[in-house]
Amino acid sequence: MIDTSSLVETMAHLGAHRLIPWVSPAVDDIERLEKETGGKLPEDYRYFLMTFGGVSLGDEDFAAKAPISEACPWGSSVAPGIFSPLDTSRHSIVKELRTFKGRLPSGVLPITHDAGGNLICVDVAGQFPGSVWFWDHEQRWFRDYFAGSFEEAAQELDAAGIDARRFSVHDIIRGWARLHADRFDRPSDYMGMYKMAPTFADFLRSLHRVPH
């Protein structure tokens, strides 16, 4: 059961405000998003999406930041940008999901981003349902494991019988990770992702005010 009054109080404390016109999405809209994501939205995030929609946190005096719970090349905390609404705007959650399809693990939903273009995501139907993750869009973990060039990594995929001639850089990194899955402490598709919270409600509770 969601503590809705506590969530509303938390959002008010964090200076939540909508920057775009918004109406609560219909249940049909939520169900279409769930079908595209591959599973039911976590109850806490579903409530947030239907109650707050596209919302920004903070004001001219402070920013809202959330900790990243494991070592990350971008630091120990992140300030979320606008949380994507479920509508037809340029930054709608459906458009974000389609934009990053194939770059994020299957079943993982991007819900907001930081100023550097990295994402904060909710795992809807992936390996860790309900949890919240930070995604490094530069995939800097790769250089910790592979000292060669992307061309050499592509050649390694070719040698394994994977035709990488038309792969993007991201496809090469992801393919190489899958080839060496036994080297990692998490599923290979989750390389470049960093744990933030076990649930979306925990993520919201972890947010704190930081003066500008």
84 Rama sector, left if φ>0, alpha if ψ -120 to 50, beta otherwise: beta
**Which of 139, 141, 100, 118 lies closest to 196 in space, CA to CA?**
118
pLDDT, position 24: 81
Residue with tokens 């109650």: 51
- Determine contact, residues 15/63, Cβ cutoff 8 Å: no
Which is higher by pLDDT, 20 or 6?
A: 6
Asked if pLDDT for residue 7 goes beyond 90, the answer is no
Asked if pLDDT for residue 110 goes beyond 80, the answer is yes
What gap in Å lies between CA 158 and CA 152, rounded to an integer?
10
**Which of 52, 81, 55 lies closest to 66 in space, CA to CA?**
81
In this prediction the pTM is 0.94
Percent of the chain with pLDDT over 90: 78
**Which of 166, 121, 117, 115 lies closest to 139 in space, CA to CA?**
117
What residue segments make up the domains of the chain, in order of their start? 4-140+192-211, 142-183
Other C-beta atoms closer than 10 Å to the C-beta of 128 total 17
pLDDT, position 134: 98
**Which of 127, 128, 96, 129 lies closest to 111 in space, CA to CA?**
96
> Coil, helix or strand for 33?
helix
Domain 4-140+192-211 has CATH 3.40.1580.10: yes
Measured in degrees and rounded to the nearest 5, phi and psi for residue 8 equal: -60, -40
